[in-house]
Structures are given as C-alpha cells and as structure tokens.
C-alpha cells in the first residue's frame, strides 16, 4: 500500500525568545523543531492547513492530520501526487541515498 505523510514545517523554536543563561547558550545551537501540517481535500482539491478549525474539517472529504502516517489507496496516492504531495510507494534503501538528512526525517521507518 502507498504511504502518505503530510508535510512538515520547521518553525517551532527550541527555546523561548526571552530565555537567558545556560539554556540560551545551549539551545542556540539547535534548529527549530518540526511541526506537522494537515492535508484536506475540500471540493475535490487538496490543500495544506496549519490548524484547521472544526468547520473546515466538517467540509473536508478527506483529512490527513499532520504528524501521522497514512496508508492510502493507489487512486488516492495518484491524486495526492498530482496535487504536488509526496507519496511513498515502497521505500527502499537505494531511494534513501538520494535524500538529505532533513528529507529523511519524515520517512516512516516502519515501512522499510
């Protein structure tokens, strides 16, 4: 089965902006944390949402919450691919060599 992982964005800071002292010195070396984004299909169109409200979720025909791994049908995989999203048919070790470390952060290791 094809596997779909909704996109992520790296925008959660590792510490609060007003942090001082040891924490500020230590965590300034770390980049922002990843945050999952949701993908919804509304009126046949796939779009990415950061925090969809309940009204938007009720309008959606399909909902893929960020931070989760979904097995989708081949038809849905084709539709998501056409909409510009990445769907993993089957992840092989050869495929992993073509990606950067940041790309690999979203791969569901249980499908290897």
* pLDDT value of residue 92: 58
The helix or strand, by DSSP H or E, that contains position 92, with its residue range, turns out to be none
Structurally, the chain folds into a number of domains equal to 1
Residue by residue, pLDDT tens for the chain (112 residues) are: 888 989 988 887 777 767 778 777 777 777 788 888 999 999 999 999 999 999 999 999 999 999 888 889 999 999 999 999 999 876 555 655 665 656 666 555 544 4
Would residue 112 count as lying in a domain?
no
* pLDDT value of residue 28: 74
- 3-class DSSP state of 3: strand
Structural domain boundaries enclosing 47? 3-106
| CB-based contact 97:107 (threshold 8 Å) | no
Other Cβ atoms closer than 10 A to 52:
21
| CB-based contact 4:108 (threshold 8 Å) | no
* pLDDT value of residue 82: 96
- 3-class DSSP state of 78: helix
Handedness of CA 17, 18, 23, 28 (dihedral sign): positive
Would residue 23 count as lying in a domain?
yes
Would residue 87 count as lying in a domain?
yes
* pLDDT value of residue 112: 45
């Amino acid at each position: 089965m094809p596997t779909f992982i909704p996109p992520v964005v790296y925008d959660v800071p590792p510490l609060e902006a007003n942090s001082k002292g040891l924490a500020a010195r230590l965590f300034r070396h770390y980049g922002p944390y990843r945050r999952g984004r949701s993908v919804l299909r509304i009126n046949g169109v796939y779009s990415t949402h950061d925090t969809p409200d309940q009204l938007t979720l009720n309008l959606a025909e399909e909902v893929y919450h960020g931070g989760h791994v979904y097995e989708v049908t081949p038809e849905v995989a084709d539709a998501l691919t056409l909409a510009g999203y990445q769907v993993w048919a089957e992840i092989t070790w050869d495929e992993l060599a073509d990606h950067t470390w940041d790309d690999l952060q979203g791969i569901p290791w249980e499908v290897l």
